[in-house]
Amino acid sequence: MKHPNIIKIICHDIGRHLGCYGVKSINSNAIDTLAKNGILFKNSFSTSPGCSPSRAAIATGMYPHNTGVLGLAHAHFGWSLDKKINHIAKYFSKNGYNSILFGLQHVTYHEKTLGFNKIFPERPADEVLKNITKIIDSKIFKKPFYAEVNFFEPHRPFDYGGVKPDKSKGVYIPKYIPKNIYSRREFAEMQGAIKKIDDTVFKIINLLKKKNLYENTIIVFTTDHGIPFPRAKGTLYDSGIETCLIISYPKLNIKNKKFSELITNIDILPTLLDFAKIKIPKEIQGKSFYPLILNKKYSENNEIFAEKTYHDLFDPMRCVRNKNFKLIINFDSDRIVRVPGDIMMGDTYKTMLGQIINIRERYELYDINRDKFEIKNLANSKKYKSIKSELLRKIVRWMKKTKDPLLKKQIQSPFFHDTLKQLK
């Protein structure tokens, strides 16, 4: 059987803010069609609500605290993928595939070490499309390929690359965000950025069809974490770690299939290795859901784990989530629900200060079936004491099993170490 080509499309900060996930104001026809022609995962989550840690998890099949990427891998922050850890590009490059990167990778300062045969670093969606179009007839696409397409959009600023707001189908604002002129404007701007992505996905799919590559190509569409608004990105609430995950592979002839099993983004890499008939290394912590797709014996994740250590600042949190409850541990004493710096630049943030300041407790327990937006903290309720204790044991067991450095001592950032060096 001919090895499948793989195109993995990752965009910033989109969560599940798409038509196929029920957001009717979004112009996401191409992505929605991808879901109709394939598989949509209803309960897919990231292992981190921060860009670099989450992308490192997708790229390695390992938790962020095991990859070396506990914070942002750009500017002065200093976090970078551990050189001993294999990036997904290496697995494919070493097994007969050509690996190509289009757009940002955001996990290291040394992208040439990742294992890609060719890198096109331009980030705007239009430039990504231009580069794909330019080389799709070259030798690199003549044998099985793994192409990683990383869009910058819809990261803030939403007008990146000249994108215009879109409110042609109205504006949808989630219930945990106040509805006012500021949020309506910012969500319209984000909708414009999502439409830009969708237009580009449409053109990529048409290009694959034109070049007779579509039928033998697995297309994965996903994101790093939740939307760039307060109480979402940068938090371990569902709005911060929920992700879209769509897989289309015409040869499987699976259409409009929806799975509700708990999936975490470290499960994506082993699944793709299974598709390509590449042996899954023992160090991979994710679980392949390839058997689930093929309707074979599959043991579902009973729970998923997520973490935050750094984003702009040190903000250590860990959580466990099953289909009924979520427990979050806040390891530091700051009672503020931390908001990433790019979100603080928007006016919606200023209208939500009362919802995020002086409210955070050490433990947060939520009944996610009755309290979708995780507003009522049950951690101090006697009624839920046994549930809290059980979930707490699961987090500790997971942290010990994965050798989470947070258990040993406060983690020091690369910037901190660089500053100390300058004092000598």
Q: Is the peptide bond before 157 cis (omega within 30 degrees of 0)?
A: yes
Residue 386 shares a structural domain with residue 280: no
Residue 364 shares a structural domain with residue 226: no
Residue 233 has a pLDDT of 98
Contacts of 359 (CB under 8 A, 6+ apart): 335, 337
Distances (CA, A) of 150 to 20, 126, 155, 297, 396: 20, 12, 12, 33, 34
Range of the domain at 64: 5-293
Residue 266 shares a structural domain with residue 309: no
Whether residue 403 is contained in a domain is answered as yes
3-state secondary structure 367-411: ECCCCCCCCCCCCCCHHHHHHHHHHHHHHHHHHHHCCCHHHCCCC
DSSP 240-290: HHB--EEEE-GGG---SEEE-S-EEGGGHHHHHHHHTT-PPPTT--S---H
The pTM (predicted TM-score) of the whole model is 0.96
Residue 209 shares a structural domain with residue 325: no
- Look up residue 173 and give its amino acid: I
Residue 21 shares a structural domain with residue 155: yes
Boundary residue ending a domain (259, 293, 327): 293
Q: Could you tell me the end-to-end alpha-carbon distance of the chain, in angstroms, rounded to an integer?
A: 60
Instruction: For residue 89, give the 3-state DSSP assignment.
Output: helix
Residue 317 shares a structural domain with residue 378: yes
Determine the Cα–Cα distance for residues 213 and 234; give it in Å rounded to an integer. 37
Considering only CA atoms, which of 74, 96, 100, 137 is closest in space to residue 9? 100
Whether residue 298 is contained in a domain is answered as no
Whether residue 299 is contained in a domain is answered as no
Determine the Cα–Cα distance for residues 244 and 156; give it in Å rounded to an integer. 19
Tens-binned pLDDT, residue by residue, of the chain (424 aa): 579 999 999 999 999 999 999 999 999 999 999 999 999 999 999 999 999 999 999 999 999 999 999 999 988 888 999 999 999 999 999 999 999 999 999 999 999 999 999 999 998 999 999 999 999 999 999 999 999 999 999 999 999 989 999 999 999 999 999 999 999 999 999 999 999 999 999 999 999 999 999 999 999 999 999 999 999 999 999 999 999 999 999 999 999 999 999 999 999 999 999 999 999 999 999 999 999 999 999 999 999 999 999 998 899 999 999 999 999 999 988 899 999 999 999 999 999 999 999 899 999 999 999 999 999 999 999 999 999 999 999 999 999 999 999 998 778 888 888 888 888 7
Q: What is the CATH number of the domain that holds 407?
A: 3.30.1120.10
Kindly state the DSSP code that residue 161 receives in the 8-state scheme.
G
Q: What is the CATH number of the domain that holds 204?
A: 3.40.720.10
